Chain A
Amino acid sequence: MTRVNERHSVNARCLQLILSAFFTLLFSACTINSSQGMNKNSTLYEQLGGQNKLEEIADNFVDEISFDAQIYPYFANSNIKRFKNKLVEQLCVMSEGPCQYSGDTMEQVHTGMNITERDFNRTVDLFIAAMTKAGISHPLQNRLLKEMAQTRDQMLYK
């Protein structure tokens, strides 16, 4: 019995050690994050590079889509110019830029398309490629994706 208790206390100590190491890592990473004073007060929109950069991303994204046999059919009958404008507006709002979104809701746009999870994730891959071609850094890409991810449920299987 003593042995079992001993063993469990060793296990518990081990777990404690590993968890505390992980949280120390988390904490120090957060500290590094907040110590990047330059970025602290600027919005994601500014860090991405503002309006011109968002337009570049949207242009690249349309290029990616037009060369993708799997995703292109969804856009075959779209007004590409309008799509680009509304996408830039939306990215601007999501990144806390000085814009207002004037387009239809994501539900309105995607209803009837029955977008599968597979095609949705493929489109995310294309959007990542569009950001990479626009020279957006990996961490900034993730922060924009995080904002965009919140609209996923409004698009899938509608």
Chain B
Amino acid sequence: MLHRLNIHKIDYIDSNGGFLIMHKHPLLFTAKFLFCIAIFSNHSLSLGAEGKLLATAGLSQVEGSGGGGLVPWATLSGYDSHDELSLSVSVSSAELNDYRLAVQTLSASFYDRVEVSVAQQRFDLKTSGVDIKQHIIGLKYKLYGDAVYGYSPQLSLGLQHKKNEDATIPNALGAASSSGTDIYFAATKVHLGAISGYNTVWNLTARATKANELGILGFGGPSNDRYELMVEASAGILLSRNLVIGVEYRQKPDNLNLGEDDWFDVFFSYIPNKNLSLTVAWTELGSIAGAAKQDGLYISLNGHL
């Protein structure tokens, strides 16, 4: 299958030895991948993991980890259970007033215990035609619990190692470094039938980070170059087995002294089966690099095997 997908370029993206399989045309790659998934699901071949309940796999968030759109959750990215492996891929785009953020992610999760993810972000400055690229490698380990069953929330510990491809813009803005590592602790719980019989989900994440705008504007800066603890939260209601609506909040530091804002979104996810999901969100990302009121539509397509 990998042969059919025509992967012909493997790039090293950081000194720690992690690598990301890159296609010349990431969108085409993703489209082909999703096409393959669709073909397989139509033929009802159970190639991949289906061992979780529908809609409990969540999404791949903006940095590639399993979660909501903005926030990494304690749940892993795929539908793998205790005895399975799964592979997930996503392509997302946020169209803001002055910027565009495009993200492609690939993640594998093992035995509903460990998740490894890679992501590449391209941040376009629409007015100048310049773009900033960042690569992220993520690792998540489930410490305890099950998001759906039992009284305790599911608890996970994760990290995201980020490397900005070109330090020019972060440096010009005063960032102290072009790479950095975030560490997070997440708790996620689904409550069956909690509100008028509807299932609800909440997530709370604490993240230690130096990243400016996810790291797109580098790490650390003139006003602060130490790790700060940020709070991130999500809450959602499952309207049916296939529809989820929810809100997300992500607190952010302001190391560059540019008035970096916290992020907020309202999302709507459609999950027709265990192979596909489509998310549309309204995001309010506030001021980015001095340009105020960056609001816009976020669209994300997720595929699971």
Contact = CB atoms under 8 A, between A and B. Distances in A.
A14 interface: yes
B240 A138 contact: yes
Interface stretch (A82-90, A96-104, A143-151): A143-151
A122 B50 contact: yes
B197 A142 contact: yes
A137 B192 CA distance: 14
Interface residues of B, number: 36
Contacts of A14: 249, 251, 262, 264
A91 to B, nearest CB: 15
B295 to A, nearest CB: 15
Contacts of B51: 116-118, 121-122
A52 B153 CA distance: 36
A7 interface: yes
Interface of B: prevailing SS? loop
Contacts of B83: 116-118
B211 interface: no
Nearest to B252: A11
Interface in B177-225: 192-193, 195-199, 223-224
A107 interface: no
Interface in B125-152: 148-150
Contacts of A19: 233
Interface of B: 49-54, 81-84, 112, 148-150, 192-193, 195-199, 223-224, 231, 233, 235, 240-241, 247, 249, 251, 254, 257, 259, 262, 264
